[in-house]
Structure 1
Amino acid sequence: MSTPDYEIRRAAATDFDGIVALLDLCGLPASDLTAQSLDGFHVAVRDAGIIGVAGLEQAGDAALLRSVAVHPRLRASGLGSRLIDASMALAQTRSLRALYLIPNDDAAHAFFARRGFKHIERSRIPEAIRGLPEFTHLCPQTHPCLWKAVSASNS
């Protein structure tokens, strides 16, 4: 396997415009993001451009895994899995207990299911997570929800 020609690193405020552009390209919500809200985000960068992103929005001892996007030309390259691995590692360092997400379509649902995320009823998701904008108004209430426990064995 060849070495990837990109770098995955923690996002910085200066990445904001590139993150929003990628999320827009991928049809994911970004209206609630600010340059200051990127603390839990990772980006994949190639030639100074953002080609992938994944973010944790922490609420108590859990987080919403959000804004997971890979440039359409790079899908199925393993980049999405590497971004999820970076998010899981960050969740472990923050001693989070679980990650929750709302996949935006069937392909995203299948991708996360392959990564060990399981279906969960919205009513079983912690109230702090359900109060985040993705749950209250950014994502359709009809979309399924997934979750995964965070533990040392998730690395």
Structure 2
Amino acid sequence: MTSVRLESVAGDISDLIKALSLSGLPTEDVPEPGRTFFRAVAPDNNTVGYSGVEQCGEDALLRSVVVLPDHRGKSYGRMIVAETLRAAPVAGNVYLATTTAAPFFSNLGFEAVHRADVPDAILGTRQLSGICPASATIMKLTKPPT
């Protein structure tokens, strides 16, 4: 299995926005402060995907995980999530919201949780308070991916 390294996305975020848009992921709040985005780079120096983390007190919201179309089906998604969790300084719990990828994230150690059990700081993010539909599945990391 190959590996990926993460590079911080800073300055020009147009490639990140394009990748998210093409995958149907929200982009409205990407440029706002408090979010860290990463470019996932394969050993051949090609960008294979992106990910992001939004700090919410001690907890964090994993967001914007996308594998570029030409690189799907090669386990990059799993690697991107694992590397993002290693790179993100999270003292508390990690949450995410998804409308389509719950089975994928379940295989990585996330479990669906009820909104009533989600901290206010997570629920108060733009992602969960307005951008993602109320029908989105909210998940919490219970076992880090290996």
| TM-score normalised by length of structure 1 | 0.82
Q: CA deviation at 1:39?
A: 5.4
Higher helix share: 1
Q: Does 1:54 align with 2:47?
A: no
The CA distance in 2 between the partners of 1:50 and 1:141, in whole Å, is 32
Q: List runs of 5+ in structure 1 lacking aligned partners.
A: none
Q: CA deviation at 1:144?
A: 1.3
The CA distance in 1 between the partners of 2:133 and 2:56, in whole Å, is 20
Q: CA deviation at 1:95?
A: 4.2
* Change in CA separation of 1:154 and 1:143 when aligned onto 2, cut-off 3 Å: closer
| TM-score normalised by length of structure 2 | 0.86
Secondary structure of the residue aligned to 2:13 is helix
Name the structure 1 match of 2:86.
89
**108, 121, 134: which one aligns with 1:128:** 121
Q: List runs of 5+ in structure 2 lacking aligned partners.
A: none
Matched residue pairs, number?
A: 145
* Change in CA separation of 1:24 and 1:87 when aligned onto 2, cut-off 3 Å: same
Per-residue CA distance 1:94-141 (angstroms, 9 max, x = gap): 242211011121xx1111000010010011111001000111111100
* Change in CA separation of 1:113 and 1:89 when aligned onto 2, cut-off 3 Å: same
Superposed, which structure 2 residues align to 1:4-153 within 5 Å? 7-34=4-31, 37=33, 40-45=36-41, 50-91=47-88, 94-105=89-100, 108-149=101-142
